């Protein structure tokens, strides 16, 4: 794992955006795996700025997001479909037909997850997968468990995740209790993984991901076994890691 230290959120965001931009420049028709949440918003904003200046062309790029809440329609403002449109896709010259997010509006979990696995595999898996990390070490919505998951599946969100995500909802009762998420094995099929983290709430998870045992109790720890992972984190998120 390569650890890139950032001063703060803005510095982390620019570094992440630089890595994604380099990927798009090197392979204009690349496949990007994308994440939602607070962490990548700054990087998406930076990429949109460069795109509008003509510096980073998304016209041939295709994207596959990690996850989606179960039971929300695509235009629900709390859905990850909506998040990706409003935070990224609407601001760059990507062909929206080439953007993909698991179909949380399909109540048939099995069918929705199988179909997502089929299209991610048909695309050849991401050239670059962008991840955030949960306070409990989750990646995608792969929560701490007694085994690592494989393909896309339906998960029950943990109390810790419901609590963390409730900041984006009016009431905690409104946070969906289930989500469809890419599995850990699918995430590991990406050729390169960039995982971003900022803030002290992530410090323990970042430490356990990089230096703890590889265990499904900290799903991100599996990334130690991938040969092309870059951790981009700010000082607060790296506070428990040894200074390099
Ligand atoms: C989002 C996702 C999650 C988040 C994680 C961190 O698509 O897969 O794993 O990356 O929960 O969320 P934030 O960035 O909001 O702290």
The CATH number linked to 76 is 3.40.50.1360
Judge if the beta carbon of residue 36 lies within 6 A of ligand 1: yes
Domain range holding 143? 2-234
Residue to mutate (ligand 1; options 16, 44, 69, 132; most atoms within 8 A of CB): 132
Q: Give SS3 for 131.
A: strand
Judge if the beta carbon of residue 143 lies within 6 A of ligand 1: no
d(CA 28, CA 21): 10
**16 within a domain of the structure (yes/no):** yes
The pair of three-digit structure tokens given for residue 178, joined into one six-digit string? 């289930």
Q: From ligand 1's centre to the CA of 143, what distance in Å?
A: 11
**192 within a domain of the structure (yes/no):** yes
* pLDDT at res. 161: 87
Question: Which ligand 1 atom minimizes the distance to the CA of 140?
Answer: 8
For the entire predicted model, the pTM comes to: 0.97
**22 within a domain of the structure (yes/no):** yes
Judge if the beta carbon of residue 138 lies within 6 A of ligand 1: yes
Could you tell me where the beta strands, DSSP code E, fall in the chain? Answer: 2-6, 31-34, 62-65, 67-69, 99-100, 128-131, 153-156, 178-181, 192-197, 229-234
**244 within a domain of the structure (yes/no):** no
Question: Which ligand 1 atom minimizes the distance to the CA of 67?
Answer: 7
Judge if the beta carbon of residue 134 lies within 6 A of ligand 1: yes
**57 within a domain of the structure (yes/no):** yes
**240 within a domain of the structure (yes/no):** no
Judge if the beta carbon of residue 39 lies within 6 A of ligand 1: yes
Q: From ligand 1's centre to the CA of 132, what distance in Å?
A: 5
Which residues belong to the active site? Answer: 67, 136, 138, 143
**26 within a domain of the structure (yes/no):** yes
Domain count, the chain: 1
Residue to mutate (ligand 1; options 12, 35, 63; most atoms within 8 A of CB): 35
Judge if the beta carbon of residue 142 lies within 6 A of ligand 1: no
* pLDDT at res. 168: 86
**239 within a domain of the structure (yes/no):** no
d(CA 139, CA 61): 23
Q: What is the mean pLDDT of each run of 10 residues along the chain (244 residues)?
A: 98 98 98 97 98 97 98 94 98 98 97 98 98 96 95 94 90 94 98 98 98 98 98 98 86
| Whole-number Cα distances in Å, 203 to 34, 134, 171, 197 | 22, 10, 27, 9
d(CA 210, CA 119): 31
């Amino acid at each position: 794992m390569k650890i890139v230290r950032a001063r703060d959120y803005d510095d982390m965001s620019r570094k992440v955006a630089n890595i994604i931009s380099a990927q798009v420049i090197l392979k204009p028709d690349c496949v990007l795996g994308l994440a939602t949440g607070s962490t990548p918003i700054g990087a998406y904003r930076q990429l949109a700025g460069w795109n509008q200046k003509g510096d980073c062309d998304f016209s041939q790029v295709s994207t596959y997001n990690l996850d989606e809440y179960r039971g929300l329609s695509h235009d629900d403002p709390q859905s990850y479909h909506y998040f990706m449109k409003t935070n990224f896709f609407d601001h760059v010259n990507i062909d929206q037909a080439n953007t993909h997010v698991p179909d949380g509006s399909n109540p048939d979990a099995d069918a929705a997850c199988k179909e997502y696995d089929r299209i991610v595999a048909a695309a050849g898996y991401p050239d670059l997968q962008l991840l955030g990390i949960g306070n409990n070490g989750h990646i995608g919505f792969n929560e701490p468990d007694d085994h690592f998951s494989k393909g896309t599946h339906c998960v029950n969100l943990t109390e810790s995740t419901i609590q963390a995500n409730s900041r984006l909802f009016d009431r905690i009762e409104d946070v969906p209790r289930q989500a469809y998420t890419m599995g850990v094995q699918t995430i590991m099929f990406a050729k390169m993984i960039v995982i971003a983290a900022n803030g002290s709430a992530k410090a323990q998870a970042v430490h356990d991901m990089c230096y703890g045992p590889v265990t499904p109790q900290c799903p991100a720890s599996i990334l130690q076994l991938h040969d092309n992972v870059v951790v981009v984190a700010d000082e607060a998120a790296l506070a428990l890691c040894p200074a390099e």
